[in-house]
Chain A
Amino acid sequence: MLIKKRTFLTGAATALGMTALASGAAFAQDDKTKVGFIYVGPINDGGWSQHHHESALKMIEEIGADKVEMVYQENVPEGPDSERAMTQMALNGADIIFSTSFGYMDPTLNVATKFPDVKFEHATGYKTAPNMSAYSARFYEGRAVQGTIAGSMTKSNTIGYIASVPIPEVVRGINSSYIHAKKVNPDVEFKIIWLYTWMDPAKEADAARTLIEQGADVILQHTDSTAPLAAAQAAGDVIGFGQAGDMAEYAPSPRVSSIIDNWAPYYTARVQAVMDGTWETHSVWEGINTGMVGIGEISDVVPEDVKAAALEMKDAISAGEYHPFTGPLNKQDGTPWLAEGEVADDGTLAGMSFYVEGLEGDIPQ
């Protein structure tokens, strides 16, 4: 019966385009909810994609493998290939598809238009549709905690920053860590290297070594590999932080804490909503408060008082009592940005393309 219906629909779809088939996908359901994931890197990259995948697996554990089934595709380039991958999942009866990289934004929207009955969730973008949500994490909150530790721990007052690609997300991270390092240590200075890649261990290792040679004794990274931590370990007396994952294999030193991407609670909630029929489109930006941004355990290398200050900040951010971008703050060129006590609005933060006052160098444009 089912097969007949779908063949009929297939015939219709060639004539009517895809929309007919989209409703056909609904017929193709068995009792399990089908969830699709599209990853930009390999599922074992140790960074961004791996943590989306691990969160997806946690979601299945949470809801139960008897109720949900997952399909995924790794290494999907951000273009027509991703559009095809999502279309394929939708055709094969996926109920909800998570596309986990900014570059999938327009392709996701294209596929979402073709399949109105399938739900789409796009990570770190700004476009939505009735059946497409946007979700992202306030990683800059984690950077505030990191900056507090970094500024207190540095003896040379030089902090090295390995930056990936000059997009607002990365600029926010640099600003947030700088503001909070400066707060606890007015003499602190940042040295920034842009690598134009999210992950290239050899380049990251070279960059970390260069920063250490130029006097940095704290390395912050917005790239995904453990290479900078390995370089810090080899140099001795240099500390760093885990990125995307805990990187606990380098604890207690050089890794003194970390920012962990934890998407599992969000994935569980959204899939559950689809199952309950309560899924609604939204655009969310969650942080420490919901656990989307995790702060890895602060190791004992960090003095007690610094650790206490960092945890206090984490709690204040989590409770909504403190916003990392609170005035008085000026832009790099000295023009006022936020007045005393004023808090940055999400719009400005989302498109942040300027350094705050005190940082040296230019954002590559």
Chain B
Amino acid sequence: MDLGAINPLLLAASLMVAATAVMIAAVGELVVEKAGVLNLGVEGMMITGAICGFAAAATTGSPMIGFAAAAGGGALLALLFALLTQVALANQVASGLALTLFGLGMSSLIGQSYVGVKPPPTPDLDIPLLSDIPVLGPVLFSHDLMVYFGLALVAAVWAFLKYTRGGLILKAVGENHAAAHALGYKVVRIRVLAILFGGACAGLGGAYISLIRVPQWTEGMTGGAGWIALALVVFASWKPWRVLLGAYLFGGVTVLQLNLQAAGLAIPAEYLSMSPYLITILVLVIMSADRSAAPASLGRTFHASQ
């Protein structure tokens, strides 16, 4: 065993990459849940974003167009969920699961002709000056654009929820939809918008996997990242900065277990590959002490005539 082979700085750089997809998806889901809606379809929206982004990027040769298409694809699938839960008032858990099932199937149908295709490369930013800082530069300032977009998104959502009127209304709708309705806010409209935003974020997260992290298209390639994103929201007690923390922790455990294996640690590999999930459970348990945090109307159906 040779733990000296693990370079902590490189580990830090890797976990930033490994955390980005789940982080973007989780921040989107956080906004959805803040509005009082539970969408379990994150995995389905991610994989849809992964293929839409891949197809658009491969066709146009532009990763940026790819990411835009991914956001659109994720939002489109989320629109289905919005119609089911906000208009037809269907059960949110079942609708979310339907979304995942449908998204997984649909994405592999769309993806049939994109297997074996190489997407256009997304360049690393290498932020001038900053990336030249010794040690920290390569770790913090020479990733692709989406890594920084993820960080900016967390900051933006935090600021939106904390300092803007729109954020206050969104939280009000999530805390008590009947009261918000009585005050004259359009509960359904606000929730639909939140759901679409969540779908777009999930789509971006998926495209990060298919365009940058892997980069190729294969069936079911998100491999459960959507479920991890859902867990992160609970882990974070619905607080944006904690989503960042949670994503880095999960990304860190994932990267660390691979590093430990390569360094020859004598823990059987199957237990190492379980570890991210077990640690997620452990953290969920610790965090569930903070019960005040969940939006009070989360997952409850709203109908104006109630």
Contact = CB atoms under 8 A, between A and B. Distances in A.
Chain A bound to chain B: yes
Interface of A: 42, 44-46, 50, 160, 166, 191-196, 199-207, 209-211, 213-215, 225-227, 230, 249, 360-362, 364-365
A99 to B, nearest CB: 21
Interface in B1-44: 5-7, 10-11, 14, 17-18
Contacts of A46: 115-116, 216, 218
17 contacts: A44-B112, A44-B115, A46-B116, A193-B261, A196-B269, A201-B214, A202-B225, A206-B14, A209-B17, A213-B7, A214-B7, A214-B262, A226-B116, A230-B214, A230-B215, A362-B266, A364-B268
A210 B268 contact: no
Contacts of A204: 214
Contacts of B266: 361-362
B175 interface: no
A40 B264 CA distance: 32
Given A42-B219, A44-B115, A206 B255 contact: yes
A160 B259 CA distance: 12
A45 B270 CA distance: 24
B5 A215 contact: yes
Interface of B: 5-7, 10-11, 14, 17-18, 108, 112, 115-116, 118, 209, 213-216, 218-219, 221-223, 225, 254-255, 258-259, 261-264, 266, 268-270, 273
B269 A194 contact: yes
Contact of A191 (B222, B264, B268): B264
B219 A45 contact: yes
A226 B268 CA distance: 26
B262 A193 contact: yes
Contacts of A44: 112, 115-116
B117 to A, nearest CB: 9
Contacts of A214: 5-7, 259, 262-263
A364 B262 contact: no
A192 B221 contact: no
Given A45-B115, A214-B6, A249-B118, A196 B273 contact: yes
Given A191-B264, A213-B259, A364-B268, 20 more contacts: A44-B115, A46-B115, A191-B5, A193-B261, A193-B262, A193-B269, A196-B270, A196-B273, A199-B218, A200-B223, A201-B214, A201-B218, A205-B214, A206-B254, A206-B255, A209-B14, A215-B5, A227-B215, A230-B216, A362-B266
A206 B218 contact: no
Contact of B11 (A211, A213, A225, A361): A213
B262 A226 contact: no
A333 B223 CA distance: 37
- Which 7 residue pairs are nearest across A and B when measured between Cβ atoms? A194-B269, A44-B115, A210-B258, A213-B10, A201-B214, A191-B262, A214-B5
A193 B115 contact: no
Q: Which of A166, A213, A360 has the most CB of B within 10 A?
A: A213
A258 B270 CA distance: 28
Nearest to B13: A213
Nearest to A194: B269
Q: Which of B6, B259, B268 has the most CB of A within 10 A?
A: B259
Contact of B262 (A160, A230, A365): A160
Q: Which of B6, B216, B254, B273 has the most CB of A within 10 A?
A: B216
Contacts of A192: 261-262
Q: Which of A46, A160, A195, A209 has the most CB of B within 10 A?
A: A209
Contacts of B258: 193, 206-207, 210
Q: Which of A44, A45, A192, A202 has the most CB of B within 10 A?
A: A202
Contact of B108 (A42, A200, A205): A42
A124 B108 CA distance: 28
A312 B50 CA distance: 44
Contacts of B259: 210, 213-214
A226 B214 CA distance: 8
B255 A210 contact: yes
Q: Which of B14, B18, B261 has the most CB of A within 10 A?
A: B261
A203 B254 CA distance: 9
A160 B5 CA distance: 13
Nearest to B9: A213
Contact of A206 (B18, B118, B269): B18
A248 B290 CA distance: 53
A205 to B, nearest CB: 5
Q: Which of A42, A210, A364 has the most CB of B within 10 A?
A: A210
A203 B269 CA distance: 14
Nearest to A214: B5
B261 A194 contact: yes
A136 B51 CA distance: 34
Contacts of A194: 261, 269-270, 273
A280 to B, nearest CB: 37
B223 A203 contact: yes
A227 B254 contact: no
Contacts of B222: 202
A249 B223 CA distance: 25
B262 A205 contact: no
A299 B270 CA distance: 36
B138 to A, nearest CB: 12
Contacts of B218: 45-46, 199, 201, 225
A364 B18 CA distance: 25
A214 B259 CA distance: 8
B250 to A, nearest CB: 12
Contacts of A160: 262
Contacts of B268: 362, 364-365
B102 to A, nearest CB: 17
Contact of A202 (B112, B115, B221, B263): B221
A341 to B, nearest CB: 32
Contacts of B262: 160, 191-193, 210-211, 214
